[in-house]
Amino acid sequence: MIRITFLLRRKPDLSAEAFTDYWLNEHGPLVASHARHLNMLRYVQVHTLGDPANDAMAKARGGMEPVYDGVAEVWFENREALTAAMETDAGRKAGAALVEDEARFIDLPRSPLWLGCEHPQVNPVPENLVASPRSGLVKLYFPLRNRQELAEADMQRYWYTNHGPIIRRQAAASGIQRYVQVHRIDDPLEAALREARGTQEPAYSGHAELWFDRAVLGVSTPERVEANRRAIEDEAKFIDFARSTMWLAKEHVFVDHR
C-alpha cells in the first residue's frame, strides 16, 4: 500500500473548535462521498488532543515545532491506483472539489503533505487498533525531519535498522501496543499534490505512530523512565528535534475498504 500524510494547520481566523467541527462534520463526509472515484482504500482523520504530555515530550527533546491541528491520512492499494484516479474525469472533479473545500478551513500553504510507505515494527493480532474517541487508546504522532548532516535516505535507513529494534525490544516496558514507521517516498506525485494546494511548508522525512492505552500512559515506572531515556538518546542521532514535532491524538475512521 501507499499512503498520503497531510498535516493540517487551521486557517488563522478559525478557532480550534470551529476547525474540528467543520473537518469532522462537513469535510469528512465529503471525502467519503468521493472515495470510490479517487480509489481510496482508507481515509482517517487524526485529531490532536490538547494534552499536557505534548509539551512534556517536546521539552524532553529540547523544544520542538508547534503541534498541528490534525492529520488527514489516505491509503491506496498502490501507486497505480492513485495515478489512475487522477487521470479520470470523475477523479479530477472529485479532487478539485476536495481542494476547494480544504481551502475553507485549512491553512494550505502551512500544511505539508507527502507520500509514504509503512514499515510496521510492533503489531497486535489482529492489526486493527484504532484510537477512537470512545476507546481507551491514544495515538502518538511524531512527524520527524533528519539531522542536516544526514541525507534523508541515510536517516531513514538508520531509523529502520537501528532505532526500530531499540523500540521493539522495550515496547512492553514503554506500554506500546503498536508501532509503525511511515517513510516518505520521493515521488513526482508529491509535487502535483503540493502545487494544487499552494503548499509551502517542506515535507517531513516521515513519521512514527504509536498506540498506547491511556490508563498506563501516565504511569511512571523505573522501566518506562529508562526506556524513554534510551529512545530519546537514540532519536538524537538522526532526528532534528527543532524541526520535528509530536503530540497525542484520537482517530476518526471514515473509509475502510481493506
Quote the radius of gyration of the chain (alpha carbons, Å).
18
Q: Which cell numbers hold the place of 132?
A: 477512537
The CATH code for residues 2-256 is 3.30.70.100
Q: Is 166 helix (H, G, I), strand (E, B) or coil?
A: helix
Question: Are β-strands 70-76 and 137-144 bridged in parallel, bridged antiparallel, or unpaired?
Answer: unpaired
Q: List the pLDDT tens digit at each of the 258 positions of the chain.
A: 999 999 999 999 999 999 999 999 999 999 999 999 999 999 999 999 999 999 999 999 999 999 999 999 999 999 999 999 989 999 999 999 999 999 999 999 999 999 999 999 999 877 889 999 999 999 999 999 999 999 999 999 999 999 999 999 999 888 999 999 999 999 999 999 999 999 999 999 999 999 999 888 778 889 889 999 999 999 999 999 999 999 999 999 999 998
* Domain ranges (residues) in the chain: 2-256
Gap between the Cα atoms of 140 and 48, Å rounded: 9
One-character DSSP codes across 183-241: EE---HHHHHHHHHHT--SPPPSEEEEEEEEHHHHT---HHHHHHHHHHHHHHTTTB-G
Q: How wide is the angle at C-alpha 163 spanned by C-alphas 161 and 165, nearest 5°?
A: 70
- pTM of the model as a whole: 0.96
